[in-house]
């Protein structure tokens, strides 16, 4: 059994668009485009895109309205899923950035302390001890560079030049 259009609209849609549909049918509006919720015959709600135009007689009086209703339920659902996925990706990116910043700080702070004390000690020790402190400094500088490089990889900021620089800086395969 056919039901009137306004009866098929959800209450929100009906309240929102009843006046606009009356204006369309009276001829005050030429066309109307809106989205609403409608009920199928099975009483399942669907999101619908509605386009309506007035058909007039030769005197310009409105005769009837031609309406096109398009079910956009799946498109709206997919759009909502994309928005949710985007929000989740942004949350993950923010977490990753905070985590990398924290790791960077937690690794570089003790390294800076070690290198700082090594610099102080190098002037106050014997030649044999100076050689060992030099090894500490060299290893600390390499480790600092490595930490910086490793932090930049997940951020996507590592360039080909930085990789080439790392290859020259480190003597891979040797002590």
- Each residue of 73-109: pLDDT tens digit? 999 999 999 999 999 999 998 998 898 889 888 988 9
User: What does each C-alpha distance from 7 to 19, 25, 36, 42, 162 come to in angstroms?
Assistant: 14, 16, 12, 14, 67
- Number of neighbours of residue 3 by Cβ within 10 angstroms: 9
pTM: 0.55
Task: Find the helix or strand (DSSP H, E) in which 109 lies.
Answer: helix 73-122
Alpha carbons 47 and 68: distance in angstroms, whole number: 13
Asked if 31 contacts 56 with a C-beta cutoff of 8 angstroms, the reply is no
**Averaged pLDDT of the chain:** 82
pLDDT band at 21, cuts 50/70/90?
confident
Q: Which two tokens stand for residue 57?
A: 């007689």
pLDDT exceeds cutoff 90 at 159 = no
Listed residue (104, 152, 103, 139) closest to 163, CA to CA: 152
């Amino acid at each position: 059994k056919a039901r009137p259009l306004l009866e098929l609209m959800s209450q929100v849609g009906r309240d929102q668009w009843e006046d606009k549909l009356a204006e369309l049918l009276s001829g005050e509006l030429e066309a109307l485009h809106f989205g609403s919720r409608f009920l199928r015959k099975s009483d399942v709600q669907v999101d619908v895109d509605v386009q309506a135009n007035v058909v007039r007689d030769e005197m310009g009086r409105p005769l009837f309205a031609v309406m096109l209703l398009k079910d956009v339920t799946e498109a709206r659902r997919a759009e909502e899923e994309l928005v949710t996925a985007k929000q989740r990706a942004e949350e993950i990116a923010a977490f990753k950035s905070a985590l990398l910043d924290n790791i960077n700080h937690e690794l570089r702070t003790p390294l800076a302390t070690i290198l700082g004390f090594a610099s102080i000690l190098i002037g106050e020790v014997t030649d044999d001890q100076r050689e060992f402190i030099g090894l500490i400094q060299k290893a600390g500088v390499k480790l600092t560079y490595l930490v910086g490089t490793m932090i930049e990889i997940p951020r996507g900021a590592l360039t080909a030049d930085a990789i080439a620089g790392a290859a020259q800086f480190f003597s891979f395969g040797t002590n």
